[in-house]
Structure 1
């Protein structure tokens, strides 16, 4: 386990333990966060605990052409029930991701400190959001870090059925149209798998991230 100091540094991701934890400590400053994502690392920890930095193996990703849109979902999209915007209400999106109740989870890892840190990145044009509206009300969305060729998804929320899926599909279409290589989804969950995401070796992920 690496303990980070004020120095802007991350050890090689190959040094992560079996769970994927690479380092502990440091801060959530904009420079460190940007270095983390460019290095294949992300923060994930509970409020009140030390900052944990992760680089799991395998890594959950979406190759953009592998997106699965069900027939029922296509019908919803064709009905124009929802309106989608980009980067219009970043703070509201991340705040809703913090507050939304999730099955099997008590509380959230998105602390107020995390919100402040990612809002700072948003002001720099690094953190971005997708908003989904129904009758002028924000009902879903997602946010993440934009590296230019890879988008690192962080969290999404939905207040009505399918709203987060609409955000996800809209993001993938944007990334595909702008020649991104990958959507990073970090760790496995069955919902992401149903949308076409898959696990790949960390080494393969890092090769794409480094444009090798």
Structure 2
């Protein structure tokens, strides 16, 4: 376990235990966050605790090299065709984050998104390193997602998504998949396994393979 200080440094992610926790401490400044994501780490911790940095093995990803990296059901396709949703990008990044922060989740007692993280990722967004996709219905924000974009590595690091209308978050993800495949991205990093991600088509990837993908330059 590494204790981070003011020095911009992360250990070798391949040395982290399988659960992924490799370092604690540091800060959420833009430079450190970018170094973390480019090194294969992400922050995940409870409010009031030291910042924890993770690189789990295996890693949950959507493999954009596949013809169908996301599972599209008939009902999802019907929702996209018939619900009249309007998809936008980067029109209300902070609102998306706060919606992800506040929507109850059946598998979680609370949220890891706190005010410090909102500030940090809004800073990333304002500098062009993080983006959101938003789903609107009758001018009301009903779903969306946000994450950290690593175009030089062909990877989008998905952080969270929310839905307040049928299939809204899934349609945001579907649009993101299409957009990134058009740009020849490799992966959407979904971080750790959960049943919902698996149902959408995400797969587990060996950490060594994930880091290998991360080190490719575009």
TM-score range, shorter chain: over 0.9
Deviation at 1:81, TM superposition (A): 2.2
Summarize deviations over 1:112-161 as a string: whole Å, max 9, x none.
Answer: 00000000000000010000001100000000000001000000011112
Q: Is 59-68 or 89-98 further displaced after alignment?
A: 59-68
Which stretches of structure 1, 4 residues or more, deviate above 4 A after TM superposition? Answer: none
Distance 1:18 1:171 in 2: 29
For residue 135 of structure 2, the aligned residue among 132, 135, 141 is 132
For residue 185 of structure 1, the aligned residue among 185, 190, 199 is 190
User: Do the aligned residues in 1 keep the contact of 2:18 with 2:58 (CA within 8 Å)?
Assistant: no
Distance 2:135 2:210 in 1: 29
Partner of 1:116: 119
| 2:27 partner SS | coil
User: Do the aligned residues in 1 keep the contact of 2:57 with 2:206 (CA within 8 Å)?
Assistant: yes
Summarize deviations over 1:43-78 as a string: whole Å, max 9, x none.
Answer: 000000000000000000011232211111111112
Partner of 1:152: 157
Distance 2:91 2:158 in 1: 17
Task: Say yes or no: does 1:8 pair with 2:13.
Answer: no
| 2:31 partner SS | helix
Deviation at 1:80, TM superposition (A): 4.6
For residue 88 of structure 1, the aligned residue among 87, 91, 95 is 91
Tell me the TM-score normalised to structure 2 length. 0.95
Structure 2, unmatched stretches of 5+, are: none
Summarize deviations over 1:22-41 as a string: whole Å, max 9, x none.
Answer: 10000000000000000000
Partner of 1:98: 101
- Number of matched residues? 212
CA RMSD of aligned residues (A): 1.0
Tell me the TM-score normalised to structure 1 length. 0.97
